[in-house]
Amino acid sequence: HLGAQSGDTLKLAAMPSIGSSKNAEADKDGTAQLDVDVTALTMKDGVITSCVIDSVQAKVSFNAAGEVTTDLSAPVQTKNQLGKNYGMVAWGGAIAEWNEQAAAFAAYVTGKTPADVAGIAVNEGTKPTGADLSASVTIAIGGFQALIAKAAQ
């Protein structure tokens, strides 16, 4: 329940994007990609009482002739479901996997107001600059902040 209690108000938000899609070229497949970031949070008296964040990157590859080259029967997992298999630590040298960093951010904003979350200091890449949060979250959080703002409306 992550801190949610009877009487809290459940808030949900999703933010989709197709910005990572790429056209096919003669020698390289294209990708139709839908990225969706989601949050479920609870609030009481304007304060976040629980929060969970997840994301999915649904990708379908296709060649220059427009033929799908992806196995459409393969399951699409969220970043939380992928866990260590997302590969941020193994392939990117991150301090923690995406799901761990998202959970750390969610725990950090619990007990704060949406205005507090919007006011979290970030750099130009929207990565947190405060020592307390950046100790556990090194990924960009601008999308997380936008999700919280959208859910709180």
Question: What's the pLDDT at 133?
Answer: 96
Q: Quick one: pLDDT band at residue 16, thresholds 50, 70, 90?
A: very high
Q: Quick one: pLDDT band at residue 1, thresholds 50, 70, 90?
A: confident
Residue 3 confidence (pLDDT) above 90: no
Residues contacting residue 133 through CB under 8 Å, at least 6 positions apart = 104, 105, 108, 120, 141
Residues contacting residue 131 through CB under 8 Å, at least 6 positions apart = none
User: What is the distance between the alpha carbons of residues 33 and 142, in angstroms, rounded to a whole number?
Assistant: 20
pLDDT tens digit sequence for 81-106: 999 999 999 888 899 999 999 999 99
